[in-house]
Structure 1
């Protein structure tokens, strides 16, 4: 029967036959694309990544320094990111630096813990690759339900702060790359 079709119809039929398996394979991968953010998950160490987020950043003991009207915040913490694998998460240590013009005198002291929620794959992928995340390059919000935010400030900072998340714990990590650890994760 295929012999009696004109050349254009044969070409269309051949294309349908060739590309049908690819389309069905692509449909099978859709749940994997949706899974990373559809449910809240918890790591084996107790960190929780909320539904709709790709990861979290926690800076437990930041220090604040004021110099007249300048204010700087620095600390070390961890980022926990959903991996593409359904069984685990990635954990990496990072350095944190922030600043704004909210200073009032000259002082230094401990600050409240900083918690950030990574709402976009672009941010979590950059951290997983060991790249710096600079707040000026992303949409930052302190509103928990902001659908346009790449990073949501849950606590410890205001939207006036500019900040940098630097994967790694030393200059050696800047040269050779930061190390990531895999953690077992489960749905909540």
Structure 2
């Protein structure tokens, strides 16, 4: 009886050795090609997500209101995020509110466009889930090469501003979630 089992065990071991490499090759072909974040991508509309970033936020025409020493900034914009499968990008509309103590008069006017680079996956995923992103919770920097920053202010704000990114365009989005759309992205 033991002589019968030895050939069976040997046959099973040979089959395992033979088919294990084929199984791992099959698994490799099932995996999607993933763009590393070290690669910059560009959307079909020309927006660029720099290398090392998970997304960007653009506020084209923010409004600034000064009331003595208080200064507030509001606007609507777009967040463009690398999608989970990294084969395309997600786009969502959002509301933006910021403030600081840099006011010096009583006035309102249109300000320079604001551009934020989302350096951390944590920020990108929070926006994708429809959660508010509050600057006090994350590391904010205006230094482009700051490796510790979650969000880099590329233009339009200073580090003194506290801000909130609120996905969606209305209070309905707060209840039902922000609408997202897919954009074709390609490596640069």
Query: Is TM-score (shorter-chain normalized) higher than 0.5?
Result: yes
**Offset at residue 86 of structure 1 (A):** 3.1
1:91 to 2:111 alignment: no
Question: Which position in structure 2 is the counterpart of 1:132?
Answer: 132
Distance across 2 between alignment mates of 1:44 and 1:64: 31
1:168 deviation in Å?
Answer: 0.1
SS at match of 1:123: helix
Identify the residue that residue 14 of structure 2 maps to in structure 1.
Answer: none
1:13-52 correspondence to structure 2 within 5 Å:
32=34, 35-52=35-52
What is the DSSP-based 3-state SS (H/G/I as helix, E as strand, rest coil) of the residue aligned with 1:124?
Answer: helix
Summarize the alignment of residues 56-135 of structure 1 with structure 2, pairs less than 5 Å apart: 56-135=56-135
**Residue deviations 1:33-56, cap 9 Å, x none?**
xx3412000001110000000000
Alpha-carbon distance between aligned partners in 1 of 2:163 and 2:57, rounded to the nearest angstrom: 13
The alpha carbon displacement at 1:87 in A equals 2.1
CA RMSD of aligned residues (A): 2.2
- Tell me if the contact between 1:36 and 1:82 (Cα under 8 Å) persists in the aligned partners: no
Question: Could you say which residue in structure 2 is the equivalent of 1:164?
Answer: 164
User: Any gaps of 5 or more consecutive residues in structure 1?
Assistant: 4-16
Contact 1:36 1:54 in 2 (8 A): no
**Residue deviations 1:156-177 (CA, integer Å, cap 9, x gap):** 0000000000000001111111
CA distance in 1, matches of 2:80, 2:185: 10
Q: Distance in 2 between matches of 1:110 and 1:42?
A: 28
Native 8 Å contact 1:71 1:101 kept in 2: yes
Larger gyration radius, structure 1 or structure 2: 2
User: Counterpart of 1:61 in 2: which secondary structure?
Assistant: coil
Partner of 1:154: 154
Cα deviation digits, residues 37-95 of structure 1 (max 9, x gap): 12000001110000000000000000000000000000000000001223210000000
- Cα distance in structure 2, aligned partners of 1:56 and 1:129: 16
**Structure 2 gaps, min length 5:** 6-16
1:105 positional shift? 1.1
